Chains A and B, each alone.
Chain A
Amino acid sequence: MKEFNYTVTDPVGIHARPAGLLVKEAKKYECAIMIFKGEKSCKATSLTKLMGLGIKQGDEIRVTVEGNGEDECAAAMETFFKGNL
């Protein structure tokens, strides 16, 4: 399993559009991607649950990646977060 932390810089947090983009990205990979915020967590492929986490600008989240090709996937996701969120 790979993981990394990330602090959200997007002004609306992980809501509507950013969340939609994240889900699209996450669905590209075979491995299971989880998003943790505080005690709450959800799969990165579920838009409604992701929005339910209520991640705002400045929140630190933890991302875990597990499964086939997790190294590339984790690297790609980290790049995605930095570029989009």
Chain B
Amino acid sequence: MFENNGQLQLIIGTGTVNKVYDEFLSVTGMSAATKDDVKAAAAAKQPLWKRMLKALGDVFVPILPAIVASGLMMGLIEALGKAIPGFAGTDWYGFLDMIANTAFAYLPVIVAVSAARVFGGNIFLGAVIGLSMIHSSLLNAWAVGSADASINYWHLFFFNVRQVGYQGHVVPVVIAVWLMCIIEKWLHKHVPEMIDLFVTPLCTVLATTFLTFTIIGPIFAQLETWVLAGAQVLVQNPIGACIMGAIYPWTVVMGLHHMYNIIEAGMLASVGLNTWMPIASAANFAQFGACLAVGIKARNHKTKVVALPSSLSAALGITEPAIFGINMRFFKPFIAGMIGGAAGALFGAVTGIGAKAYGVTGIPGYLTIDKPVQYTILLAISGGIAFVLSTILWKEETEEDGENGEDGKTAESGVIGADGNETAGDFINNVVFRSSAGELVQPVAGKVIPYTEIRDETFNSGVMGKGVGIEPEEGIVYAPMDGEISSVADSKHAIGIDGAGDMELLIHVGVDTVEMNGDGFTPLVAEGDKVTKGQKLLKFDREKIRAAGHPETVVMLLTNSDDYEDFELKL
């Protein structure tokens, strides 16, 4: 049941959605957010499946706090419910169980918002898509398969639409929102501005939800049936159990593992022993081992703080944080987990251990297992193998300081040295928009937002051209492209650059900062100067901007973006 509550989905390699995925991949390069990601995007020659995983990771990483919290809470509550007789019936259990479930039950909404952000769509429309997929008018996905739930259909054109929700799913939601963003952007471009405000959202939501329920839904229904049938055949012998132990995490990724309690319940009813649980336990505990290895080995602080709590949650049987947050992202730990899971599952099948109930795996599994000693060995095998393999296979990708110098080198000697000093790391070679005239990278370190989200009507209305805003993390503006300085404002807070293909770029530091009359701004270039990408253009004092009461958002707009039909933001 742990897994029931926490299903997360990914369709990989199913022929029908290949087209969708090809495009999906072409978008993934957009979502570079951290320096590591930027490197990944810069090295965009990566295999498609890797970039696909990265896109999933980009969507998933920001929501990790929510699911790590829920995962841990759920693991503990369900374990307590099994450990203390009577606790499961108390009000406290009911209350805590509900809270722990929330993030998983409504995961599509959280995922949809995050995906909309990654793919550059409107996050509120994203939320609507997510909400529609778990609407209370639909049969709860967790109830599918239980005896008293019958599935109703809507007949739309020649489609039979299952009235089933996507509780706990991830991948169908990511695909749906990705679709939504494409539709939304296309409409924004082609719908006349006068009616854009109501036509675009309306058509976007309608088209996206229709496609979601008529195409994505049936694919998943079919997958569920196949996986269930396949699993029932596999568990009948040790070799099959071994295979199942290896592919189990894939079914978790696809969100199909919530079907397994049907198998478990069947086993208990027929032979009184649940031999499925050791397989699931081996697979889950192997994910714990693989994730723990990353947590211990990682030097990157961010990786470490995600990996350790995620592995703890996996040890309790909730593997989604570990799988999506760590193992799947780096992939080698995921392979290690598959191998560990296979070994553990084989051992479990050979020794013939089983559980007397279903619902818990990992450490809480001791509460239901019939032979604790063998179970301990099973956990040690699966977790241990995965841990060791993950430690060996996974190498932390280190940031190569020289890398920025390759693309973002500067003629200005010493500004960004090839020696990889700290300054070099601050210029982020991350493409934020492009057109036929060329690509532009972000001019300052910090979080990038589309111009429409800049909190100033002048900039977000597009009257000055399209572009991006950056919430700066440091007070230095770097040249986002090669070009010539066309203007430096008297008040020193804005710089114009003419670039290739007649691009006229404006970099404006802060909002309403013209009022500061130059105080706090130190231009490092003058009108007519030739500049190269990565060169320092302007220093600004973030303290002074804040003290003056202005937002410090650095605005970068292609003022003549209308001249380029293929102008697009790459966020």
Contact = CB atoms under 8 A, between A and B. Distances in A.
Interface of A: 12-13, 15-17, 19-21, 23-24, 27, 45-49, 51-54, 56
Interface string B474-503: 000000000000111111001011100000
A21 B463 contact: yes
Interface in B463-478: 463-465
Range class of the B interface residue count = 20 to 34
Interface stretch (B182-190, B277-285, B302-310, B504-512): B504-512
A49 B463 contact: no
A16 B514 contact: yes
B464 A46 contact: no
Given A16-B464, A19-B464, A48-B505, 14 more contacts: A13-B514, A15-B514, A16-B458, A17-B457, A17-B463, A20-B465, A20-B559, A27-B562, A47-B506, A48-B487, A48-B498, A48-B504, A52-B488, A52-B489
Contact of A48 (B496, B514, B515, B562): B496
Contacts of B457: 17
A48 B556 CA distance: 11
Given A12-B514, A16-B508, A17-B458, A47 B494 contact: no
Contacts of A24: 463
Contacts of B562: 27
A46 B514 contact: no
A52 B487 contact: yes
Given A17-B458, A20-B463, A21-B463, A47 B560 contact: yes
B486 A54 contact: no
A56 B527 CA distance: 19
A56 B496 CA distance: 18
Contact of B496 (A13, A16, A21, A49): A49
By DSSP majority rule, is chain B's interface helix, strand, loop, or mixed? mixed
Contacts of B514: 12-13, 15-16
Contacts, number: 67
Interface string B265-300: 000000000000000000000000000000000000
Contacts of B494: 16, 51
Contact of A47 (B459, B515, B527, B559): B559
A47 B230 CA distance: 64
A16 B550 CA distance: 15
B465 A47 contact: yes
Nearest to A56: B490
A23 B20 CA distance: 40
Contact of A49 (B464, B486, B515): B486
B502 to A, nearest CB: 10
Nearest to B502: A46
